[in-house]
Chains A and B, each alone.
Chain A
């Protein structure tokens, strides 16, 4: 087998082992070939993602389209993983060590991933709220002639947006959705009527958590990555490897989603998790991890953690700038100032359009990933059941 650069020492190890084994049945060789192919494919796909992440035109790291591609990669890898696990080998192998422990462990991890999928799916709705607020600002500021009325309207929307984006770690950011309709009244907390409204609305703040109480995305990711142990040299050609690869991919994908999209409780999100650097197929994943981790740290310092989604960041940046414009607006406006603003408004409009076109398909893809994980898990579990039990004669 030709050793490609990507595989590095790994393939060497495999080939050495193979040379050492005296008798090989054809099956085993086929397995190894499939395994190598799998690793190569994984490496290639993630390298692709890595190169797309350098895109500065808006489809780069953690943009909607990048995330969608990431999910596609996940689905492809998952399909290949399942094929390797189920088709290429004797099904009873699954009930023997080391798989008999690894596979259920994998499945537990995967259940957590299902919950993460749900949380992210809900959280995409929050992102759509950002989009809708931004759209109001765009509608207002696109009007000509532009006057105090439109600017006021835009400012109101943008202020609500900023409040939403300013998720402090550990706070219930959903409560600020109520800020939407309070408008100026939220600042005037002294009068009884607005106080009443504030308290009665706050009764239901707690109900708008999308996941159960105490559920934390950060903790789930942590738990998922906690027993992610690379198989040692001796096991590297065993079935433990594909399970490890798929586990790593799953954890990475979930982590990236959580970083990008503001789901429930991301306090203390890991910024990296250990993947041994010498694994060929993992190089791009490690690189991407580092990039995303960097971004996360940067944002954390500024206390604006409403998700690293590229489009969200763009909206934020433009929003801040437009608020400055709105604050200093005086009628009638100067022509060149107007032109500057028009450019920004157009960009904001573009971003909103991207979100409009991309968020719903993103949600659909997340559901697809969810269902695929469920199906695969069921199939493998069934196989495990059959391997472990003696089935009674039926009919």
Chain B
């Protein structure tokens, strides 16, 4: 239409100057508008074209039931690109500040639609990838199955009245702290894909869905791990009701599991969430905590339950094991859950540790009480080494392995020890050794003296004085030997050993005296001489000598 006007006007040579000027202005204005329309049209039509292409791609997978990532890397990256494109287009359209009446508004709507479908699909793919490519935890890889199911440690059925106690109370040889060790919890090939999807979803503001999919999948995986490690979930009530044999093996399993779980599994889990969410900020920490919290608390709950249970002395070494492992792992746990989000786990851990410490103290006291109150009604046959003695000395020997822990835990209660340092001071090694020895020395020596007084009581059951001494002699000798021949030597100290030996010798002497004195008295001169004469009555002498031989043989035999 504009051209018509121009043509018509052009032919009119008599146009005034102003008319021509106006026409010219009109002309330029019209052409600019036309140009604008074209570029706008171009821009939007470009968007539309690309949107159509993207839409096609994404919708083509809608009906397809198979997983995109199963169909090969090309399909996958094509889809990812399409989705990314959809996101960008959406952003562009949004920035055009369209109002409702524009055609472009409908375009934006379409774009959102496409984006939503893409995100929904990506979420599924993400979950699928995580699930299909998880690498189940294999304990063999981490030297897990050491002497696991020892039916029972020889002699680990321990109760004080038990006659059948073996001489060997083995300390369960749990391997010392293992190194931190990162496993591939998800097949490494898949990790870059997961990262791409995560980044894309987060950039498209679909972070919530992605996060949920991830934490849900990893929670399951962690549950699976604990299942493989044979840590069943148990209520506190159940644990309190468990009988000793199963409780014993459960504790051993727990100790091993804790080490592996924290140092290997959780460390790997944290690494995984870093690999996937590393570029996305706090999410990588949050997702780790969220996924692992429940399992960690489940494990700690067992520790809690153990500390609540009754303080039977036979539990002492097991509880010490638990305390030791948790105390060793504390720095690792603090590091893994160092953020605010992780504080509930840290707090719980510290709480359980302190409660186990209380439990150790209480059980140790119970141990002493049990020794003191171990009562026999009949004298121990044969006068040999009483099984109480064996038990106590062997147990004490085991406890030397936990020297550090016991020193730390028992220190506060140790009022008699003037040289005990406050835990806040950092003493030199020598001072530490001295003070730590004296704490343990005090306690162990008191145990020894409780044992001795108990043995004293038992010895009184013998009618025969010589047997009394015989009994004490044997037992004290055993005690001294046990101490001399092991690390207990350092704890009890040479002074104690000397004292012990003296006691032993004294009893030995008394025993000799007691057994032989009656016989020796037979050999004495008294009563042999006939009253009033200086000659020795032969018959009496013969009698005496005969009874001497008899008594000698008898004593010799016993």
Contacts and interface: CB of A to CB of B under 8 A. Distances in A.
B112 A148 contact: yes
B450 A374 contact: no
Interface stretch (B182-190, B243-251, B362-370, B426-434): B362-370
B351 interface: yes
Contacts of B362: 382
A394 to B, nearest CB: 6
B105 A111 contact: no
Nearest to A107: B308
Given A115-B236, A145-B105, A181-B216, A194 B65 contact: yes
Interface stretch (A53-61, A95-103, A203-211, A316-324): A203-211
B518 interface: no
B233 to A, nearest CB: 4
Contacts of B450: 392-394
Contacts of A135: 208
Nearest to A215: B235
Contact of A211 (B131, B208, B235, B358): B235
A41 interface: no
Interface stretch (B119-127, B325-333, B384-392, B506-514): B119-127
A150 B112 contact: yes
B118 to A, nearest CB: 10
B549 interface: no
Given A145-B109, A180-B213, A197 B237 contact: no
Interface in A173-206: 177-178, 180-185, 188, 191, 193-194, 197, 200-201, 204
A332 interface: yes
B227 A207 contact: yes
A145 B100 CA distance: 9
Contacts of B65: 185, 188, 191, 193-194
A377 interface: yes
Contacts of B131: 197, 200-201
Nearest to A181: B127
Interface string B84-124: 00000000000000001000010011001111110110011
Highest count of chain B CB atoms <10 Å: which of A125, A191, A390, A392: A392
B520 interface: no
A377 B216 contact: no
Contacts of A212: 232-235, 238
Contact of B373 (A183, A211, A392): A392
Given A148-B113, A395-B446, A378 B344 contact: no
A269 interface: no
B369 A177 contact: no
B183 to A, nearest CB: 19
Contact of A185 (B100, B112, B124, B235): B124
Contacts of A147: 108-109, 112-113
Interface residues of B, number: 63
A286 B60 CA distance: 62
The SS class assigned to the A binding surface is helix
A363 interface: yes
A40 interface: no
A149 B233 contact: no
A181 B123 contact: yes
Contact of B344 (A139, A150, A153, A363): A363
Nearest to B130: A181
Contact of A111 (B127, B213, B240, B294): B240
B172 interface: no
A118 B240 CA distance: 16
A301 B117 CA distance: 38
A299 interface: no
Contacts of A19: none
B232 A136 contact: no
Given A150-B112, A211-B235, A215-B235, A204 B223 contact: yes
Given A371-B351, A389-B369, A193 B216 contact: no
Nearest to B341: A360
Contacts of B298: 210
Interface string B300-322: 01001000100000000000000
Highest count of chain B CB atoms <10 Å: which of A111, A122, A211, A395: A395
Highest count of chain A CB atoms <10 Å: which of B237, B365, B373: B237
B236 A118 contact: yes
Contacts of B530: none
Contacts of B442: 395
Nearest to A185: B124
Nearest to B414: A395
Given A121-B297, A207-B220, A210-B294, 16 more contacts: A111-B240, A114-B308, A139-B208, A149-B109, A149-B113, A149-B117, A150-B112, A150-B116, A181-B123, A183-B120, A207-B223, A210-B233, A211-B233, A211-B235, A393-B372, A394-B446
13 contacts: A114-B236, A115-B237, A118-B236, A139-B208, A148-B113, A149-B117, A181-B123, A183-B120, A188-B65, A193-B65, A197-B131, A213-B233, A394-B450
A-B interface, 7 closest residue pairs, ranked by CB to CB distance from nearest: A392-B372, A149-B112, A149-B116, A181-B127, A207-B223, A147-B109, A149-B113
